[in-house]
Amino acid sequence: MSVLTFSFTSFLFGRLITTREISYETLPVQCYIPDAVPIWVMFLWQTIHLYFLFFSSGTPLFTMCAMTYTSLQLKILDYELRGIFEHVDVDNDDVFRNVQSRIAKCSKHHSFLLSFRSTLNEAFSTVMILYLGLMILVLCIGLYASFALKSREDILRTLAYVAIYNVEFFVCYCFPSQILMDYSEGLSDTLYFTKWYQYPKFNKMVLLLLCQLQVTVAFNVRGIASFGYDIGLRAIKTVVSYCMFLRAIIL
């Protein structure tokens, strides 16, 4: 991220550093400048907006990486749960304490993932509500425009934008979130099929851990719904429905 930030900053200020003068040629984006707007105001205006666009465009990738790494942690926890009762001799005090420490370790690991889930949801859930609403609006406009446009080139360009937006939504949000939920929901099954009921001494600890594992590690939108295939398909259904409604009313 630091390399990308340095490269982007060099792109914005490289020509300015070389010429040591703010002019039309040193603007990040060449555009029309009204006579009443000073050149340095336009330079700051473009720079601020481009920085905002640069950092906001990194949000999907950051969210995808965060959910992917969390899924990897859940896979590691699943492996730890499978090995809790391997080679167990309940009459051996050392083995008994070892199993207790394994159960406690798995409980702490899951608690950590739950706290990370809460942090991630608090940081991004509000943004995701806005993103979801904006995505539905943009896709509605794009699909409607594809029906209204006459030029084949314009229609293909509009459909390409719609397709790219859909790919970003599913690849960066829906797929990683669905994998995260699937791994999280499978933890309790993994623990149950370790045949823990054959070791009565650990029943209480295992039952408490089973109850804890019922809490799903999932990325949700303000607790309304969890991102996954379901919400992705609902969003697409909403887009198509509104688009057909606009087409029936306007065309």
Q: How confident is the model at residue 58 (pLDDT cuts 50, 70, 90)?
A: low
For residue 57, pLDDT over 70 is answered with no
Question: What per-residue confidence (pLDDT) applies to 249?
Answer: 77
DSSP code of residue 225 = E
Structural element, H or E, at residue 220:
strand 220-221
* pTM across the whole model: 0.71
224-240: average pLDDT = 81
The model's confidence at residue 74, banded by pLDDT at 50, 70 and 90, is: very high
> Side chain identity at 82, as an amino acid letter?
R
Residue 110 scores a pLDDT above 90:
yes
147 vs 103: which has the higher pLDDT = 103
Give the model's pLDDT for residue 243: 80
Mean pLDDT of 170-196: 89
CA dihedral angle for residue 107, residue 89, residue 196, residue 210, rounded to 10 degrees: -10
What CA–CA distances, in Å, run from 139 to 34, 65, 72, 172? 33, 25, 32, 17
pLDDT tens digits, one per residue of 25-38: 667 666 656 677 77
Of 177 and 20, the structure prediction assigns the larger pLDDT to 177
Kindly state the average pLDDT of the residues 63-82. 89
For the residues 73-86, what does the mean pLDDT come to? 89
Average pLDDT over residues 210-237: 82
Looking at per-residue pLDDT, the higher value among 101 and 128 belongs to 101
